[in-house]
Structure 1
Amino acid sequence: MGYAAMHASHRITVMVVFSGGSIVLPTLSEIGRPLEPILTSTVVVLGELTGYLVRDTLHRTFMERRIQRQRVRAANRALHDAQNAQEKRERDLERDFFAMTCHEVRNPLNGVVGHLNLASSALEGPSGDETGNEPRSNAKLLCLIETLKRTISDATVCSDACLHVLANMTSLQRLEAGLLQPLLRPVLLE
């Protein structure tokens, strides 16, 4: 009667298992590096050979290293792609910031130039010599002076706005360089 034909309750009590193994140490490889051992194992149940295992640990190590290299390459590719995406976002932000800043500086500067041109053209108005008329009257001069005051006041407001934008840019540069520390405090929003 064979082992497989035995009743299940008898198999446990009658089973005799022999398991043996060995480690074969190979010689050096062609380049002089010691090879990893080859593991062997046998399982004998009731005199019948039921299993035989030969496992080359060098092959297993090689495969593990290959998988590890593939994972490292994939991680490096992902990191490189993330860095490229971040650099593109930074370039886009820098370009947008530069365009917005140019716009913010150019508008008040255009106001200054426009108001100064108005003041200049008001001062260059027709004189008595060119038109053959009498020189400007006191009332016209007072009106001209008031117009020039308003024009110069508007030009001053525009130049102050331009200086404010440039001061903010300077503060931002100093903050990024670590030369300026922000002051954190509560602010009432209305």
Structure 2
Amino acid sequence: MCRRCAALLLIAGAGLAACRLGGAAPLQPFLAQLSAQAQAGDLLFRHGTEAISQLVRSVDAGDFSHVGLLVAPASPSGPWRVVHATPSEKPGQPDAVVLDTLDFYLHPQRARSYQLYRVAASATARQQAVDWALGQQGRAFDLLDAERGLYCTTLVWQAWRHGGVALEATFTEVMLPLLSGHYLLPDGLRRAPQLQALTPVLPVVPAP
């Protein structure tokens, strides 16, 4: 098994478009619904649609395979966005930290369900966390370096550290021939005591 594939079986990058064979099917129109309580800096966990997402969840024993940080609309009529570290989900896009619209992030092609979490923090801390994460756009998605690698959960965890909040997340020891070390899996982040669920686990419902 290649190092990249072994890594994707373990961490919540979720291996979406990067693991598909052939061209991607055209996206159907979809409008994601977000809780009225949502704020920039909230954590948006999702359960991916690919078979590899099931493998991630079986290793992690949690509900989700990926997480991103909410970014407020750039204008009053603009869309909510999500900054996240992911394998490529678009043709020609590198494996990196990217900024996507909420509709893209939660499209039924790549998400089955989701849940929104809040970090109890000041508006200043929240903005600092978001600004740091946005500043990482283009930084490579990296699972192979357990100490310094950047993947979806560590992007969010580090962002909040730069916002002055040390999330008490639980790292999991992974021991495989091609991948070993302590990794932050989605459930290890979701169970941090500083996080509060704003919604139940919600299904992603395709447009009629």
Q: Same fold (TM over 0.5)?
A: no
User: Would you tell me which structure has more helix in proportion to its own residues?
Assistant: 1
User: Would you tell me which structure has more strand in proportion to its own residues?
Assistant: 2
- Higher normalized contact order (CA 8 Å, seq sep 6+, divided by chain length): 2
Normalising by structure 1, what TM-score?
Answer: 0.17
Normalising by structure 2, what TM-score?
Answer: 0.16
